[in-house]
Amino acid sequence: MQLLVVEVLRGWPGRSGASCGSWCLLGGVESKRCHPASRNVRDPSGPGCAGVVGDNSPGSHYCGFRRQRSAVQRQRDLISHSQITRLYSRFTSLDKGENGTLSREDFQRIPELAINPLGDRIINAFFPEGEDQVNFRGFMRTLAHFRPIEDNEKSKDQNGPEPLNSRSNKLHFAFRLYDLDKDDKISRDELLQVLRMMVGVNISDEQLGSIADRTIQEADQDGDSAISFAEFVKVLEKVDVEQKMSIRFLH
Amino acid sequence: LDYQHVQVPFEITLWIMLASLAKIGFHLYNKLPSVVPESCLLIFVGLIMGGIIYGLNDRSPPVMDTDIFFLYLLPPIVLDAGYFMPSRPFFENIGTILLYAVVGTIWNVFGIGFSLYGICQVKAFRLQDVSLLHNLLFGSLIAAVDPVAVLAVFEEIHVNEKLHILVFGESLLNDAVTVVLYKLFRSFCEMPTIKSVDVFAGVGKFFVVGLGGVLVGLTFGMTAAFTTRFTKDIRVIEPLFVFLYSYLSYLTAEMFHLSGIVAIIACAMGMKRYVEANISLKSHTTVKYFMKMWSSVSDTLIFIFLGVSTIGENHEWNWPYICFTVIFCLVWRALGVLVLTFFVNRFHVNTITSKDQFIIAYGGLRGAICFSLVFLLPDFRRKKLFIAATTVVILFTVFVQGMTIRPLVDLLAVKRKRESAPTVGEQIHIRFLDHLLAGIEDISGHWGQYYWKDKLEYFNSKYLQKLLLREYDQPKSSIVLLYEKLERKHAIELAEAGQLGHTLSHPSLLNNDRTVVTEKKLEDALDPDVLENIQEILARNLYRIRRTGPAYSRHTLPGETEPAKEILILRHKSL
């Protein structure tokens, strides 16, 4: 998991100082080096604060990890300052209740999402299992899957954990949208459900069924009439997934 | 028979009736609009009408009065464009659009003007007396791309959202530049000497015209929003305010010699979100439909009049000049697009491909604005030459470029096809990924220049909303309003008609049939005929993602396309 370090600007308009702080977002793992309290932070329980670090310098707080990274690595930082502040501003503009988390209604208020066939599934992908609220960290984590893969990262060391935006992880994200019951297989039913969402009302059930059968039959190699993750990856091997699943966060 | 009494309204109504009947006639024959764009057919009808009138009266048919065009026919079209302009792609690409509109137009004007002056120097063409200033004046009115013609032609070809908004936005915004240059050169024509002070005054004037237009438009837009705050008890005349204020902004800007088109666009875009929140649903629908109706009628009338005015004795046919005008228009536009795109691509991640560049360059159509401006020229000896040249350029761009742009686009697209057709699974998964990416982009609010947008949003929520909205609750977008409307009406209707109930598959039924059907289906699935059938079904029925279609359409309201309705109803049912 990659380290995202953020310095959130003080006094963000509309947030009246509650966001002064900095976060160490280690995907899923609390940083053991982040100190839990800091004198200079006004509201440590602000949105998405996984841990707060004080540096004693008045204008900026940086997580201890950051000092370890060299300046060169900082240039290639996964999501840069401006991108994170930009996403945070988007998060707060979606968060109408101003409680630092997003609910499903907040997502459903986005008009273009209402007419996206996969709208509901995409929204669900943001929420961790069984929960109804997502904080900024979860929001960022999901969006981190869609960061473009930079060329200089491809030759990085293979020892570290795989970055969230690798090709395999991107495909895994998409696979999880198909596979609702999380059995690591796309069954015929699940495929049919997705197909029905993506296709107009003029197609009859039999036609849809035959399309689903054809899809499974093309991909299935171990004969279980379902698509496993490996088979899914194989089907898409000729497709430029890196480009199809990447957003340029900056214009 | 008291014809004199009713003559004027009667003739106007007859013309409008002719235009509308012509439109019906084209769409009766399905194949025609795909081969020949509607604008060509309308000009053709106009030519026939002009010929008939000329034959009957043996004198030139009435030339389209420039006042009628600028005051009555143009504003509805521009208002429609401004009101339905999708603001997200527009502001995402505003830098590029402004670059093309301002720098591109200036480049074209001077390029065409100077090259035509060069042609005039050639003794063989007998054009010695056309001075540089006249050529520059002519260049300024012929260089501008026309929004009416562009819209008409781009409806037929399916380009992606970004390209559509680039050409369309450019055609709307270059009005400011055209107005300034045209007036500048015209006043230079009348002045005995030209000092450099005058040139600088001209440059300053450009900023005044553009920014002044925006300011006037926004003022009227805010006033309109404020007025609609108090219309709760008189819902019936709410739509009128929208039209009155927009038209007033246009007229006021024209009165002050500012750019009326920019003013009306600024007014429409500024007032839209507040007005939509304040007025009732029915008024909302009325506004939308009336706008579409008026702009359609204006559009049709303009092209017919263009055809009618072509016939007659207004022309002096000096073929070398005319031919070179056409050539230079094409050449300078292509050069301009190439150079500007080179600069644009340096600064942006999403580059404009060469196919896009070709479409932008080739899609620079001239239309009725040039035509009216040429009739406004002061009467000097060579005016008819310019009229002839303008007519030929317009007819060439609309007919030749309009008709050939679609085959050329298809040709360019075909060249990049894959060697092997994608498998069914690939097609489905690719479309799945496309929808996923579109959704994620919408969630992440994929925007450029977000700094200014955030500032504007902040300003909006703090001050403007409190002032201009009647009920300050969650402002609902038009999509959500539509969804609620559909929820009430269509879901009930369609469910009653049994259509949705039949096609939505119940998982329980599917499970029961699966075991029986599976063996048979697997064998069928291997059949190549079934495969072709499937490919065809998918190609026709998979929902397209938003970005691949045009952002703005003359004939349909946004959000009321069939796929959108179906998706909303299906999601409602599944909730």
Q: How far apart are CA B440 and CA B385, in angstroms?
A: 56
CA of B2: how far to CAs of B6, B14, B59, B174, B425, in Å?
A: 7, 17, 25, 47, 73
B537 pLDDT above the threshold of 50: yes
- Domains of chain B, by residue range, sit at 64-299+312-412, 426-474
Residue B246 has pLDDT above 90, yes or no: yes
Residue B428 CB partners (closer than 8 Å, separation 6+): A195, A198, A211, A215, B538, B542
From first to last of its 251 residues, chain A has per-residue pLDDT tens of 333 444 333 323 333 333 333 343 333 333 333 333 333 333 334 333 333 333 333 333 333 333 333 433 333 345 677 778 878 888 888 887 778 888 888 888 877 787 788 888 888 888 888 888 888 888 888 888 887 776 655 555 556 667 777 888 888 888 888 888 888 888 888 888 888 888 877 778 888 888 888 888 888 888 888 888 888 888 888 777 777 777 765 44
- Å from A110 to nearest chain B CA? 7
CB contact under 8 A, B526 and A248: no
Q: Residue B328 corresponds to which amino acid?
A: F
Encode A12-51 in three state secondary structure.
CCCCCCCCCEEEEEECCCCCCCCCCCCCCCCCCCCCCCCC
* CB atoms A122 and B439 under 8 Å: yes
What ipTM was predicted for this assembly?
0.71
Contact check, Cβ <8 Å, A214/B530: yes
C-alpha separations of B412 from B340, B353, B355, B399, B407 in Å: 22, 12, 7, 20, 9
**Residues with Cβ < 8 Å from A168, sequence gap 6 or more?**
A162, A233
Task: Report how many Cβ contacts below 8 Å link chain A to chain B.
Answer: 195
CB contact under 8 A, A96 and B537: no
All residues of chain B having their beta carbon less than 8 Å from the beta carbon of residue A234 are: none
> Where residue B470 falls among pLDDT bands split at 50, 70, 90?
confident
Categorise residue A130: left if φ over 0, alpha if ψ from -120 to 50, beta otherwise.
left
User: Residue B446 has what pLDDT?
Assistant: 59
**Can you give B272-283 as a three-state secondary structure string?**
HHHHHHHCCHHH
How close A126 gets to chain B, by Cα (Å)? Answer: 10
How far apart (Å, rounded) are the C-alpha atoms in residues A193 and B432? 12
Question: Residue A251: which of B349, B441, B546 has the nearest Cβ?
Answer: B349
Q: Which residue has the higher pLDDT, A116 or B327?
A: B327
Nearest residue on chain A to B519, judged by CA atoms? A213
Give the containing element (helix H, strand E) for A6.
Answer: strand A3-8
Q: Which residues of chain B neighbour A106 with C-beta distances below 8 Å?
A: none
Beta bridge partners of A7: A22
Show residues of chain B in contact with A208, CB under 8 Å. 505
The predicted-structure confidence for B344-390, as pLDDT tens digits, reads as follows 888 776 677 888 888 888 888 888 888 888 888 877 777 888 888 88
Interatomic CA distance for residues B460 and A20, integer angstroms: 24
Taking an 8 Å cut-off on Cβ atoms, the answer to whether B436 and A245 are in contact is yes
Of B426, B449, B521, the CB nearest to A213: B521
The whole-angstrom distance between A71's CA and the closest CA on chain B is 24
Within 8 A by CB and 6+ apart from A199, the residues are A208, B538, B541, B542, B543
B218/B267 Cα distance (integer angstroms) = 5
The CATH number given to B64-299+312-412 is 1.20.1530.20
Would the CB atoms of B443 and A120 count as touching at under 8 Å? no
Q: What percent of chain B has pLDDT over 90?
A: 11
3-class secondary-structure state, position B254: helix
Q: Which residue of A has its CA nearest to B505?
A: A205
Nearest CA in chain A to B510: A189
Give pLDDT tens digits for B93-121.
888 898 889 899 999 999 999 998 888 88
Are the beta carbons of B61 and B54 closer than 8 angstroms? yes
Looking at beta carbons, which pairs linking B29-34 to residues 24 or more positions away fall under 8 Å? B33/B156, B34/B156, B34/B406
